[in-house]
Homo-oligomer: A and B are copies of this chain.
Amino acid sequence: MSPTDPDPVLGAQHPIRLAARRINGHVNHTPLLECDLHRELRLKLECWQVSGSFKARGAFNALLSLDPPPHGVVTVSSGNHGQAVALAARTLSVAATVVIPEGANPYKVESIRGLGAEVVQSGVTFDNRMQVAQRVAHDRNLVMVHPYDDWDVIHGQGTVALEMLEQDPRIRTLVAPVGGGGLLSGTSLTARALDPEIKIVGVEPAGADDAARSLASGRHCRLTSAPATSADGLRSLSLGDRGFAVLVGAGGADAIVTVDEEQIGAATALAWTRLKLALEPSAALPLAAFSAGLLDRMPAPWGLILSGGNFDPAVVAGMLGLT
């Protein structure tokens, strides 16, 4: 259904419907594909999204929602969100500053600079990065665009599921990677509004299982240190407050499953060699869950969000057995 023909449930004024209308023209309507791994799989190719990941949806929605348009924005991310904010800011002629810890992957830093954003690295560590960003925001009168704990960002990410359920309304289970929870909570908000029977499954690295523990315990669990996982998009220490509220508090997640590093590497290699899709490891987690049989008890068809393709060649080379 098109934005001008809203369904009666997720109405024209639902914030995710508004987000879809707002970002239309700035982001790609990515394909939903079948594949020969299993006839019940549906793959949403957000690796083909502008900026190389779904993060462009939330970034564009957040920047386009600011009224009046800001002098500039600041965010914290050495990865996909940083690239997405840089792209959205350049497109909308807004200045962007990205705070990145020293020692971050220089390839990603260059990519963010290449999109015209200013990078602040001096004296920035993984632990103090948010405080630095808040100070920069205050000192320079910039608006903070949080990578996941922001309703506009969450509503932007919810447009992935909106497209999927329009592309194949038969989908019964939606599966997304979970780090800070922006994508999974947006997915859940969309699905619950359209059809509460659709199952919502998050997939998390076993070494960063705070969301799984949060769902199991009902408490907002937090990792004590940065997790070591090849899925560099999923290293946040905990769900955001809004993600926790949606996924745990409001029952928006039906399951959060974990996969280990070997399974993540095998799923990434499977994507490259069998699907011919150059995914980044974080995007392969739903495939890893499928391969491990963790979706078997969920109703089919299964819609997997393959969230991005901004891979580090050295990491993927290892997964392909080359190093």
Contact = CB atoms under 8 A, between A and B. Distances in A.
A321 interface: yes
Contacts of A52: 276
A111 B277 CA distance: 19
Interface stretch (A213-221, A286-294, A312-320): A312-320
Contact of A279 (B276, B279, B321): B276
A47 B317 contact: no
Contacts of A321: 313
Contacts of A272: 278
Interface in A1-59: 31, 33, 36, 45, 47-48, 50, 52
Interface in A73-121: none
A273 interface: yes
Contact of A322 (B36, B47, B313): B313
Interface in A222-276: 271-273, 275-276
A109 to B, nearest CB: 16
Nearest to A309: B276
Contacts of A311: 273
Given A36-B50, A278-B273, A317 B322 contact: yes
A320 B309 CA distance: 15
Nearest to A31: B31
A242 to B, nearest CB: 29
A273 B52 CA distance: 9
A276 B50 contact: no
A174 to B, nearest CB: 21
